[in-house]
Structure 1
Amino acid sequence: MDLQAVGEARKMQLNELEERRLFSYENAKLYKEKTKRWHDQKIHERVFEKGQKVLLFNSRLKLFPGKLKSRWSGPFTVVEVYPFEVVTVREDQSGKEFKVNGQRLKHYWGGEVDREKTSISLKDA
């Protein structure tokens, strides 16, 4: 056995492994940048103004058994808009005002919201 040749071969293997690791690191970095750019393109900034109608996302609804029930409640009226996406909204029916994160809101474009539960029979008539 030639220990010198074995040592050189091992060094070559380690260098090759290091090159592959750096290459895969670069590829992962490029992939992350590309996907971030793509996701950022899809984000639309929502600007809320006083008097505007909005819907509020109810994230706690998932605890209740109602798969087909909408998680959006409202409409609410925007009372005040603060910096950093904090919005004060007023419930139209009770007049109650509260502050919410602007990321939980979306614009309401009209139409009546039916809050009553309705059941649909799927039996053949």
Structure 2
Amino acid sequence: MDHELASRNKVNQLHELEKFRLHAYENAKLYKEKIKRCHDKHIVPRIFTPGEKILLFNSILRLFPRKLRSKWSGPFEVVRMTKHGAVEIKGETGPPFLVNGQRVKHYFDEDSDRDREALELNDE
């Protein structure tokens, strides 16, 4: 056995392994970018105006069994919305606090039903 030939073969194998690793890294990076674009298409931007009423998703509340407990708490009032999607809200008591804009949704109270028109449909 030639020691010099064996060491060159080992170095060549390491280079081939490094090329394979870099190729796998690039493929994984491209796949992650493609999946991120696919998921980001489904994110709906939510815009809230100051003074608007919203509900906050509450994942910590464990007072009731799973089926009976409400996942939404509120209503809260919007103080301001940041350019990154965070919403500063305040409750009836306590100081205002920041929450992720994806964890809130619009609150429609009884007064919003008054603005809607009633249409009668006739079968003719």
Aligned length: 105
Q: How does 1:1-125 map to 2 (within 5 A)?
A: 1-62=1-62, 64=63, 66-68=65-67, 69-78=69-78, 80-83=79-82, 85-91=86-92, 96=93, 98-103=95-100, 104-109=103-108
CA positional deviation for 1:31: 1.5
> CA 1:83/1:100 → structure 2, altered by over 3 Å: closer, same or farther?
same
Task: Give the % identical residues.
Answer: 45
CA offset digits 1:35-62 (Å, max 9, x no partner): 2222222222111113433111123214
- Aligned to 1:67, the other structure's residue is in SS state coil
| 1:25 Cα deviation from its structure 2 partner | 0.9
Letter in 2 for 1:12: N
Gaps of 5+ in 2: 111-124
Q: CA RMSD in A?
A: 2.5
TM-score normalized with structure 2 length: 0.66
Task: Please give the TM-score of this superposition, normalised by the length of structure 1.
Answer: 0.66
The change in CA–CA distance for 1:109 and 1:45 in structure 2 (over 3 A counts) is same
How many Å separate the matches in 1 of 2:106 and 2:6? 69
Runs of 4+ in 1 over 4 A off after TM superposition: none
Counterpart of 2:89, as a letter, is T
Q: 1:106 to 1:34 in 2, by over 3 A?
A: same
1:71 Cα shift?
A: 1.4
**Which amino acid in structure 2 is aligned with residue 34 of structure 1?**
K
Structure 1, unaligned runs of 5 or more: 112-125
Name the SS of the counterpart of 1:33 in structure 2: helix
